[in-house]
Amino acid sequence: MAAEQQQRMEPDSVAKVLLLHLMPDKCYEHFFIHFDCFHVPCLRIVLSKTVGPWIILATVMAQIPQVMKMLRRRSSEGLSLIAVLLQLYSSSAPLVYCMRSHFPLSAWGERLLLSIQTAAVAFLTLHYRGNSLKGLFLLFCFAAIVLLLGNIGTASVISAMQSSSTSALIASKAVQASSNSSRGHTGALSRLSVFLVWAESWALIFVSLQETGASLSTLARLLSAALSCLLLLQVLSSERKAKHKRE
């Protein structure tokens, strides 16, 4: 008897979660009663509600697989130090802006985690190339500069950093893609990290189109997403070639 009641409640519970977190009543009717799965206004609502959490999740976790792969392989082969440093600058610029604007930690906590992860990738890149002292010096300088700018940075400097962060990210991906092409492999570059960045890039394009439509920022994010696609293809191709060699 209890099992039958639980089975009757489960669909209601699922519907309640969907209604509360993903869509209004009308969209639930379109999708699950009328089976109109391509109702554009409702699709936009659902995407808008799911894209935000996905961006945060991808941001927080993006570099963790990369760090884990480098530790597991004890190698930084294939990673471009210049690309990593550009990525570190790109992730720290919004961090400095939020600190200087005295935003609560909840508003920039994910950026802090991403910057720490990227700094760890930069250190490991130098460490596995026999430059551990340089890696430690880099971490010290990075922390000191972020704290300094986050507390006493001028508005013009912080504004310039914020506006150039997307360009730095694009340059980072371009440099890494060029490095992959010249080496003929991607080495210790993590497929999962590249995939998370790729997915985040397309989620940001959706948000940009919803907020500003076709604009320069949207075009910049399209270019960034295209480079993410290239990097993902390079990683998959490199892993396929390595698998064939082992066989």
Measured CA to CA, the distance from residue 244 to residue 183 in angstroms comes to: 18
pLDDT tens figures, 185-241: 898 999 999 998 888 888 778 777 766 656 777 888 899 999 999 999 999 998 888
**Residues 234/180, Cβ–Cβ less than 8 Å:** yes
How high is the pLDDT of residue 241?
A: 83
What are the residue ranges spanned by the domains of the chain? 51-246
Q: Alpha carbon of 58 to those of 1, 188, 202, 203: distances in Å?
A: 43, 20, 11, 10
Give the up-direction half-sphere exposure of residue 236: CA atoms within 13 A in the CB hemisphere: 8
How high is the pLDDT of residue 64?
A: 93
Q: Which residues contact 196 (CB under 8 A, 6 or more apart)?
A: 58, 61, 62, 65
**Residues 231/192, Cβ–Cβ less than 8 Å:** no
* pTM across the whole model: 0.79
pLDDT tens figures, 129-176: 999 999 999 999 999 999 999 999 898 999 999 889 999 999 999 999
Q: Which residues contact 32 (CB under 8 A, 6 or more apart)?
A: 15
How high is the pLDDT of residue 10?
A: 47
Measured CA to CA, the distance from residue 238 to residue 87 in angstroms comes to: 22
Measured CA to CA, the distance from residue 211 to residue 209 in angstroms comes to: 6
pLDDT score of 1 more than 60: no
